[in-house]
């Protein structure tokens, strides 16, 4: 810690102690808030990764602070447990061999490695070369055109054609979605491949390092084995054909012509993939403050924040070279977690004035896809019919130039006036968004028709990096953010009528916050086909559960409903959210697509006419 930051911190403590002795009115303490942020983002908690023991330690700390603040528990516990897949490990039965007399075998992690989203199991399959493994109708390009790869292990180059050509139809030198490994895997499986063999392309990438097992984001199981194999081994396989990877890549890149083929002579590989998906017992932390009005105390205002972060970085780090280091997560989201703890203290001090009850919630699993809040709204401890609003605090500690972003303002007609009135004292430059959707926990409540507000101070260069540390927080500004949240909560509590939930017409922008989900890493955004379903991010065995259907969307017009499970799109099987994303992006606005969903165990067939995302 820099000396100037230490002096600043110490002066804040002294100031708070001094004014605390003089003041009799309750208010948010910037010093207490900063102390909690510092504690939660310390080395002791190792970045609060899901599945790490330090996350449980953080849960215990939050529960203890809720208890000290005077909050009550529900059902005799401060925790709501749930289970989630938090990662994957290589098992002990991974093997690869080329059939022959004798078989030629290869070493796991040295010569090949499965990817974390590979299916487990054994396969013996003939080999085919399938170029880059890309089907891109928008570029009139298809490596699978005219070749039957059913039951075969397809060899695919790792990147995409004409990677260093500024004039390439593949968006010049910009990487498109087709380079994403999970998209290549989905495409191989959809063409009937038994397995996919990924190989580093030689022209633009002289190195031949294997992908780190845990570095590539994807679903728990893509449906077929996916192996990354060293280039010299694949060259051995190709040698009898008289072709090399370098020559094949040159031919493809020259004019985007197709050079896929089945290897003659029936060479076959024998493989076994053994992927052990790690599940962990996670838990939301609950603190309850009952209201005093006999007629209104059954109504509940939820004030929430997620307390999990990235741990040691792994696949979600924005600084790949620093994976393995603690990602402290001070702003994301120790800031919001400390915020709800401080608001719990504040409202307990004025509990005699509260008519309605307040439920304070710290969610786990947010970084895995809003899993904690999604679990809560499916199994609420207090019926959602009694939940009148949800206020979500996520990354509130670094207000820049007095600007504060607030989402969900359109989910109730009362919100804008409440925020404007509350802000008269603080003079924030408020940036409103009507949408109640977005990549944070309020979205789970909005899809259950609970009015939501999302408080957010903005992204910064330290997001998802080890450099997101406590001394970069702005405690005085954040105290004002918390006072504004408290003002809105008081307005909701004071109102005679509960706020009306209103659906927001989706602007269909290309941002994740307001578009069909885009789980694969991809530089493309903006215009494209629009479906109108909000997926449930929790994985189910097969298909994609629709958490919500946006009003007036193509999905709504086709009669789809919330809780439908999409199992087929345009004749292709949908097993995961990644399948749905890949298949949707292969279509054009105006296309009419047959889909099949499961509804209460029955298959429903309909057609969805895709619109344009604008």
Same domain, 388 and 454: yes
Same domain, 384 and 406: yes
Same domain, 269 and 307: no
Predicted pLDDT of residue 265: 80
CA distances from 372 to 61, 378, 403, 427, 546 (A): 18, 10, 29, 33, 17
Best CA proximity match to 430, nearest among 450, 409, 403: 403
Same domain, 320 and 384: yes
Question: Which of 427, 459, 494 finishes a domain?
Answer: 494
Joined together, the tokens standing for residue 173 give: 């030198």
- Split at pLDDT 50, 70, 90, the class of 537 is low
Helices (H) and strands (E) in the chain, counts: 13, 27
pLDDT over threshold 50, residue 610: yes
Share above pLDDT 90 across residues of the chain, in percent, rounded to a whole number: 68
Same domain, 551 and 579: yes
Share above pLDDT 70 across residues of the chain, in percent, rounded to a whole number: 90
- Split at pLDDT 50, 70, 90, the class of 14 is very low
Domain at 155, CATH number: 3.50.30.30
Domain at 330, CATH number: 3.40.630.10
Question: For the residues 25-40, what does the mean pLDDT come to?
Answer: 92
Same domain, 98 and 82: no
Q: How many residues does the chain have?
A: 614
Same domain, 226 and 303: no
CA distance 422 to 355: 19
Which structural domain, as residue segments, surrounds residue 183? 93-273
pLDDT over threshold 60, residue 588: yes
pLDDT over threshold 60, residue 508: no
pLDDT over threshold 90, residue 11: no
Question: For the residues 531-548, what does the mean pLDDT come to?
Answer: 80
Best CA proximity match to 336, nearest among 513, 456, 467, 474: 456
Which position has the higher pLDDT, 358 or 84?
Answer: 358
**Residue 309 per-residue DSSP state:** B
Domain count, the chain: 3
Same domain, 38 and 146: no
Joined together, the tokens standing for residue 299 give: 């109504």
Q: Is residue 376 part of a domain?
A: yes
Question: Which residue's structure tokens are 């499961």?
Answer: 598
pLDDT over threshold 90, residue 397: yes
Predicted pLDDT of residue 505: 64
The per-residue DSSP string of 156-172 comes to EESS-TTTT-TT-TTTT
Same domain, 346 and 432: yes
pLDDT over threshold 50, residue 8: no
Predicted pLDDT of residue 101: 65
Predicted pLDDT of residue 18: 42
pLDDT over threshold 60, residue 392: yes
| DSSP H/E element including 336 | helix 335-349
pLDDT over threshold 70, residue 507: no
Same domain, 112 and 227: yes
What confidence tens digit (pLDDT) does each residue in 155-184 have? 999 999 998 888 888 888 887 888 889 889
User: How big is the CA angle at 136 (ends 132 and 142), to the nearest 5 degrees?
Assistant: 55
Which position has the higher pLDDT, 606 or 523?
Answer: 606
Q: Is residue 502 part of a domain?
A: no
pLDDT over threshold 80, residue 105: yes
What confidence tens digit (pLDDT) does each residue in 114-141 have? 998 899 999 999 999 999 999 988 888 9
Of the ranges 51-55, 214-218, 370-374, 459-463, which one carries the lowest mean pLDDT score?
214-218
What confidence tens digit (pLDDT) does each residue in 411-456 have? 999 999 999 999 999 999 999 999 888 789 999 999 899 999 999 9
Average pLDDT value for the chain: 88
Predicted pLDDT of residue 509: 38
- The pTM of the full predicted model, rounded to 2 decimals, is 0.76
Domain at 605, CATH number: 2.30.42.10
Same domain, 424 and 355: yes
CA distance 308 to 363: 7
Q: Is residue 1 part of a domain?
A: no
Question: Which of 459, 494, 529 finishes a domain?
Answer: 494
Q: Is residue 512 part of a domain?
A: no
Same domain, 82 and 160: no
Q: Is residue 79 part of a domain?
A: yes
């Amino acid at each position: 810690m820099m000396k100037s930051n230490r002096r600043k911190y110490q002066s804040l403590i002294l100031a708070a102690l001094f004014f605390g002795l003089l003041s009799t009115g309750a208010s948010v303490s910037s010093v207490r808030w900063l102390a909690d942020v510092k504690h939660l983002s310390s080395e002791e908690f190792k970045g609060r990764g899901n599945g790490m023991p330090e996350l449980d330690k953080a849960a215990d700390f939050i529960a203890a602070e809720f208890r000290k603040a005077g909050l009550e528990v529900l059902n005799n516990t401060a925790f709501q447990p749930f289970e989630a897949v938090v990662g994957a490990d290589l098992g002990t039965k991974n093997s690869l061999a080329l059939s022959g007399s004798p078989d030629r075998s290869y070493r796991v992690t040295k010569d090949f490695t499965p990817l974390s989203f590979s299916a487990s199991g054994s396969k013996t399959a003939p080999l085919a070369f399938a170029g880059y493994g890309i089907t891109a109708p928008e570029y009139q390009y298809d490596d699978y055109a005219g070749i039957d790869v059913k039951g075969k292990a397809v060899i695919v180059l790792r990147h995409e054609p004409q990677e260093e050509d500024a004039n390439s139809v593949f968006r010049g030198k910009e990487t498109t979605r087709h380079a994403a490994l999970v998209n290549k895997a989905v495409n191989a499986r959809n063409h009937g491949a038994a397995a996919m063999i990924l190989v580093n392309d030689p022209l633009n990438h002289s190195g031949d390092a294997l992908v780190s097992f845990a570095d590539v984001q994807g679903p728990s199981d893509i449906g077929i084995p996916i192996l990354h194999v060293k280039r010299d081994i694949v060259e051995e396989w190709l040698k009898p054909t008289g072709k090399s990877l370098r020559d094949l890549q040159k031919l493809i890149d020259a004019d985007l012509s197709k050079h896929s083929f089945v290897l003659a002579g029936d060479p076959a590989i024998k493989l076994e993939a053994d992927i052990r998906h790690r599940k962990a017992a996670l838990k939301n932390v609950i603190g309850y403050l009952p209201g005093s009005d006999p007629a209104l105390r059954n109504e509940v205002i939820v004030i929430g924040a997620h307390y999990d972060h990235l741990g040691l970085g792994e696949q979600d780090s924005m600084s790949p070279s620093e994976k393995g280091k603690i990602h402290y997560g001070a702003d994301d989201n120790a800031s919001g977690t400390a915020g709800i703890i401080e608001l719990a203290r504040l409202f307990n001090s004025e509990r005699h004035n509260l008519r309605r009850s307040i439920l304070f919630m710290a969610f786990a699993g947010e970084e895995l896809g809003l899993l904690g809040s999604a679990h809560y709204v499916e199994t609420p401890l207090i019926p959602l019919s009694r939940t009148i609003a949800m206020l979500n605090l996520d990354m509130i500690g670094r207000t820049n130039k007095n600007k504060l972003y607030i989402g969900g303002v359109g989910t109730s007609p009362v919100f804008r006036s409440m925020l404007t009135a509350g802000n008269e004292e603080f003079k924030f430059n408020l940036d409103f968004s009507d949408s109640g959707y977005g990549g944070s926990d309020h979205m789970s409540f909005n899809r259950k028709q609970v009015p939501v507000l999302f408080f957010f101070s903005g992204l910064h260069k330290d997001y998802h990096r080890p450099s997101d540390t406590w001394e970069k927080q702005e405690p005085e500004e954040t105290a004002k953010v918390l006072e504004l949240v408290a003002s809105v909560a008081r307005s909701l509590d004071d109102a005679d009528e509960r706020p009306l939930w209103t659906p927001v017409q989706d602007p269909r922008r290309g941002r994740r916050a307001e578009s069909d989900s885009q789980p694969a890493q991809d530089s493309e955004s903006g215009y494209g086909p629009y479906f109108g379903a909000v997926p449930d991010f929790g994985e189910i065995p097969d298909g994609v559960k629709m958490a919500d259907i946006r009003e007036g969307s193509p999905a709504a017009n086709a009669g789809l409903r919330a809780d439908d499970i999409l199992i087929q799109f345009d004749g292709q099987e949908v097993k995961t959210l990644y399948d749905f994303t890949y298949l949707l992006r292969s279509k054009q606005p105006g296309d009419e697509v047959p889909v099949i969903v499961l509804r209460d165990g029955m298959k429903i067939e309909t057609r969805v006419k895709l619109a344009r995302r604008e």
